[in-house]
Amino acid sequence: MNYQLFQSRIEQVKQQPGVNATVIDSLYKWILKSDAGQRHRINPHQIARDCFMDLSLTVTGCLQAVKGGIFDLNWDVRCPHCDMVCDEHHDLSQASGLGKCPMCEIEFESDFAQRVEVTFSLAADIEKPITNASCAPPSALKAKFEMAVPSGESNYAIDYLNPGKYRYCCAITLAKGIMVVEGEPTDKIQEVQLTQLPGSEFDKKQITCAPGKIKIELTNSGDSLAGLYLHEDELPNQLTPEQLPPRVSGLQIIHLPVYKRLFGDQVLSQRERIKISSVTVMFTDITGSTSMYEKLGDAKAYNIVRDHFEILFGAIEQQGGTVLKTIGDAVMASFISSEAAIKAAINALVDFRDYNQNRPEEEQVKIKIGIHRGSTVLVNLNNRLDYFGSTVNKAARIQGVSQSWEISLSEEVYHAEMLVTALKSSGQWEVTKHEVDLKGIEGKQEVYSLGFYPRGY
């Protein structure tokens, strides 16, 4: 590692406006104590845990460190079955909606919420990476054993194997092979010699042995580091986030204000689409805005609308949401969770109640809100990130049937969030259920409206 360059850039970043010097110092100390393996693909969750820091502050510091030339930003695409890092990009424009796992030999959708992980690594001029893309096999694979072997060395493992078909592979070099266990069981220890060759191959691509104890010895005559793990040759079901270590997803990163500020120019290529399995979308609009412009004139009405944007943007960002775009007086935003969206909507209505206090009727802002959750597609629209699909359309339609001072929720949001139950039981919110026709959506749709009616309305 080039310690002098590393320290110099740390000091430069600490001097930048908006940077928390304490967080940057913690990153610096963590790096100095870490080993090369930990630094290769840095998970902000680990730094936050080791340094007793808030995760959001940690990720913000990491992103600022990228801008300051300390870290590289990695968009890691992981296989849904084996969790292998199948691809990595340093710019979102290089990302693809389809991934291909060389270990499982399958193609899959690069779900931005579950299969795209954001990690960090030291800039190449500070420390050159020593290994290829790699990862530890998840427990769902039920690996019989794991080992790591430095260049020029050997290591071995002994295990009892029942009849069946197994796969042995290296997540570092991408070498792989098949072991067939068949025939009559034996009491003797069977010895297998395996060599990692230069490149991505073992010297043996298939091994046959009898059921019983097997000693596999791996010699690394190729890469600077090779590994070996063995598991049954059967893909497990798609891994869920609960089966994996805590990670920062691509969806989480783009919801951070600091990401939009520092890397807002990083967007997908014009023709690329990436699936998002689940996200909450909010639409808001001002009721009676046309009348307001007619009564107050363009200049004064415009200033009120700008005030309205500031209140909404603040409420949205405070709950971890991100504003995707404005359409006239309307706002489209997204959230990782529906609970955060509902909290943002409630806070916004409270803030508008305070804003309207002591203002004449024609200068008061009255908004309506619609919230829906579902899958969508991340796209590049006019060189900015945007969503496309039925979830977006339904959220917009729900906002369209909402009334002033109402937060209208789809059935998916209403039945999934405990916050709604708490609000209903508090007695301070009127909850009404409607069956409505939403333009472009087949069949009657259930919409639940939370009524917030300030005194005088």
**CB-based contacts of 49: which residues, under 8 Å, 6+ apart?**
none
Q: What is the pLDDT of residues 311-325, one digit of tens each?
A: 999 999 999 999 999
Q: Are 286 and 366 in contact (CB under 8 A)?
A: yes
pLDDT tens digits, 162-196: 999 998 988 778 888 999 999 999 999 999 999 99
Please give the model's pTM, rounded to 2 decimal places: 0.85
Helices 55-67 & 3-14, crossing angle to 10 degrees? Answer: 110
Please state, rounded to an integer, the average pLDDT across all residues of the chain.
90
Please write the tens of the pLDDT for every residue from 238-271: 888 888 889 999 999 999 999 999 998 889 988 8
**Hey, is 141 helix, strand or coil?**
helix
Q: Please enumerate in sequence order all residues whose Cβ is within 8 A of that of 319, keeping only pairs 6 or more positions apart, or say none.
A: 335, 340, 341, 343, 344, 347
Task: Give per-residue pLDDT as tens, 4-15.
Answer: 999 999 999 999
Residue 60 to residue 236: CA distance in whole angstroms: 35
Question: Does the pLDDT of residue 28 top 50, yes or no?
Answer: yes
Q: What average pLDDT does this structure show over 322-332?
A: 94
